[in-house]
Amino acid sequence: MSVAVKDPDVSLYPSTPDEGGAPPPKGDPTPRIVDDEENQNLKRGLQERHTQMIALAGAIGTGLFLGLGSSIQTGGPLGALLGYALVGLVVCAVQIALGEVSALMPVTGSFVRHVEILVDPALGFAIGWNVVYGCFMSVPSEITAAVVLIQYWTDLNAAIWVTILIVISAVVSLLFIRVYGELEFGFAILKILLIIGIILMGLVIDLGGVAGTPRLGFHYWKDPGPMVEYIASGSWGRFLGFWAVMTNAVYSFSGVESLTMAAAEMQNPRQNIPRACKRVFFRVTIFYFIAVLIVGMIVPSNDPRLGSESGTASQSPFVIAAADAGIKVVPSIINAVVLTSAWSSSNQSILAGTRTLYGLALKGHAPRIFLKTSKQGVPYMCAILQIAVSFLAYLTCSNNAYTVFNWLLDLTSAGVLFSWGTIALNHIRLVQGFRAQGLSTREMPWHNSWSYYTSFFALVMCVLILLTGGYTVFTAGNWSPSSFVSSYLDIPLVLVFYLGWKFYKKTKTVSLYEIPLEQALYEAREDESNVPVKTSRWAKFNILWG
């Protein structure tokens, strides 16, 4: 950590020239923000198209294909639309904050490493291990979800499919990062094609384009109505329905924060990260907004089939609408693409978990054995641990054990809000540091003058949703100990990790004058790859990654 200074004009580093003889702006460029070890041992195998499509693949999954039905049932077509729109604004603020900080500090582990530099090393320890635990537990959960989807077509023993999926996941996790990028690229294209297809199908059904079906228009907005009374009656009940949708929407959008987890393995991250953040947000938001609107037009909010929890395509509101219209092929198509979504989510959890663990090991927050990398630049010891945890998926072969496993997994359901809140807090501290040290934010690789205020909005919203996410357990007749624990236990867990490491290591909150901003700016200026990205004249016609 740099020595604190009171005068913002005083250099944070000694004024000796570097080894090459060319003096940096204000001294020796050490300690480095982007660690030499990750620079040397990790390979930059992710191109811009991989970066953008990884974020798209992470944000579009079962929450969109299968989960929209419960949102319509809880909040009604208007309540669902408003809930997803508001959370979309939060995601926008989080994406921009993540992009601005990561473009300046493109490190492995992303916001987990940023919070050590900008806020407190103890908070980095707590958030980092919370992310690692959540990602590691998500892999067997996604494998189990994939097995449920496969059993939509076959009755073969679940253990067979668990074994196959674990082996495939292990192979992917140990291969060159470029292989992962290509897989996610393909999965994202499949998802987007399915979204476009089901949206068009929904429009055709709504407009009466299927023989034997009447034109619906906005009929279901009138009957049973635009909003649903949830738990209570009247305006208060409609508000509670809207709020329940919003908490569900958070988990539908989760995954966008993993965009920069492998920043040190991206080509030209200081340019590609901002481009990906801007494009991915708009594409994801448009897809979700249109999908929610269409579902509210083709399925009534009081349809009992929306409450199905089969875990397969049969619970999708698009499948319900297609079945009513006599379109029989849709369920298998949606089930197949959702199966790739589950595998994609598993792969992304592996990437986020292993890279966060590697980043923790770099800073001494995890055993140094996890710094070992293969010749292909893969942190294989992290991957091996992730694979070992994946064997928990075999618990699906025992219903009672799997119930316990799901309960344990739900403990980290609030982790996404901790991650988003941390990203917003990092950005706020970064801008405050620039002001305190008398530096101009215009020197950053990417910055927006208004993003400082939107980060405050995102931070407040994340805290509010985190504290009220399990509000239903406090209403009359809805108390559930397991729901209460799964909604709120993550809060004291993070606090215990934070306070425990803080007292053990006696860490201090980083002073605004201690934040190594000049070092970060120096590395950005000296980064040979930090050059404008060349785009072809056809890029503007590419709605996916151009």
Q: Which DSSP string corresponds to 272-339?
A: HHHHHHHHHHHHHHHHHHHHHHHHHHHS-TT-GGGG---SSGGG-HHHHHHHHTT--SHHHHHHHHHH
Give pLDDT, residue 62: 67
Confidence of residue 283 (pLDDT cuts 50, 70, 90): confident
From 247, 256, 313, 264, select the one nearest 66 (Cα to Cα): 313
Which residues, including other chains, have CB under 8 Å from residue 19's CB and lie 6 or more apart?
Answer: none
Please tell me the distance from the alpha carbon of residue 139 to that of residue 296, in angstroms, as a whole number: 32
13: its two tokens: 């580093």
% of the chain with per-residue pLDDT over 90: 34
**Helices 177-206/269-298 angle, 10° precision:** 30
Top pLDDT among 38 and 338 is at 338
pLDDT score, position 344 = 79
Whether residue 453 is predicted with pLDDT greater than 90 in this model: the reply is yes
**Residue 400 tokens, joined:** 């009672």
Highest mean pLDDT among 52-66, 177-191, 305-319, 466-480: 466-480
CB-CB contact of 139 with 227 (8 Å): no
334: pLDDT confidence band, cut at 50, 70 and 90? confident
511 pLDDT exceeds 90?
A: yes
Residue 392 CA: distances (Å) to CA of 66, 144, 145, 211, 400: 24, 9, 13, 48, 13
Q: Which of 360-374, 398-412, 434-448 has the lowest mean pLDDT?
A: 398-412
- pLDDT on residue 16: 37
Main-chain dihedrals φ then ψ at residue 266, nearest 5 degrees: -100, 150
User: Measured at the alpha carbon of residue 30, what is the angle toward residues 26 and 35, in degrees to the nearest 5?
Assistant: 135
* Amino acid 454: pLDDT: 96
pLDDT of 45 > 90? The answer is no
Give the per-residue pLDDT at 416: 87
pLDDT for residue 316: 82
Predicted confidence band at 478 (pLDDT cuts at 50, 70, 90)?
confident
- pLDDT value at residue 10: 35
On whether the CB atoms of residues 214 and 208 are closer than 8 A, the answer is yes
* 489 touches 411 (CB < 8 A): yes
- Note the pLDDT of residue 335: 82
Predicted pLDDT of residue 175: 78
Least confident piece of the model among 179-183, 212-216, 329-333: 179-183
Confirm if 129 and 292 have CB atoms less than 8 A apart. no
Q: Which two tokens stand for residue 300?
A: 């009534």
pLDDT tens digits, one per residue of 98-145: 999 999 998 888 899 999 999 999 999 999 999 998 888 888 888 887
C-alpha distances (whole Å) from 491 to each of 4, 174, 192, 412, 528 are 31, 33, 35, 9, 42
Amino acid 501: pLDDT:
95
How many C-beta atoms lie closer than 10 Å to residue 406's C-beta?
A: 15
The rounded distance, in Å, linking the Cα atoms of 543 and 546 is: 6
* In the predicted structure, residue 434 carries a pLDDT above the cut 80: yes
Q: How far apart are CA 482 and CA 486, in angstroms?
A: 6
What CATH number does the domain located at 36-474 have? 1.20.1740.10
Quickly state the pLDDT bin for 27 (edges 50, 70, 90).
very low
DSSP three-state, residue 413: coil
Find the mean pLDDT for residues 67-86. Answer: 90
Whether the pLDDT of residue 527 is over 60: the answer is: yes
CA pair distance 294, 423, nearest whole angstrom: 32
In sign, the C-alpha dihedral spanning 167, 171, 177, 181 is negative
* Structural tokens at position 3: 């020595």
What pLDDT, on a 0 to 100 scale, did the predictor assign at position 261? 73
pLDDT exceeds 50 at position 60: yes
pLDDT above 70: percentage of residues in the chain:
82
Q: Which of 308-317, 385-394, 478-487 has the lowest mean pLDDT?
A: 308-317
Give the pLDDT of residue 18: 40
Report the pLDDT value the prediction gives residue 14, as an integer from 0 to 100. 36
CA dihedral sign of residues 46, 49, 50, 56? positive
- Write down the pTM of the prediction: 0.86
pLDDT of residue 22: 38
Q: Which residue has the tokens 């923000």?
A: 33
Is residue 458 over pLDDT 90?
yes
| Average pLDDT of the chain to the nearest whole number | 81
Confidence of residue 48 (pLDDT cuts 50, 70, 90): low
Q: What's the gap between Cα 148 and its chain centre?
A: 23
Please tell me the predicted confidence (pLDDT) of residue 400: 61
Q: Which is more confident, 268 or 96?
A: 96
Confidence of residue 338 (pLDDT cuts 50, 70, 90): confident
Exposure string for 41-74, b = 16+ CB within 10 A, e = fewer = bbbbbbbbbbbbbbbbbbbbbbbbbbbbbbbbbb
Tokens of 53: 């499509």
Q: What is each CA distance from 97 to 83, 87, 269, 432, in whole angstroms?
A: 22, 15, 15, 13
- Position 1 confidence tier, pLDDT thresholds 50, 70, 90: very low
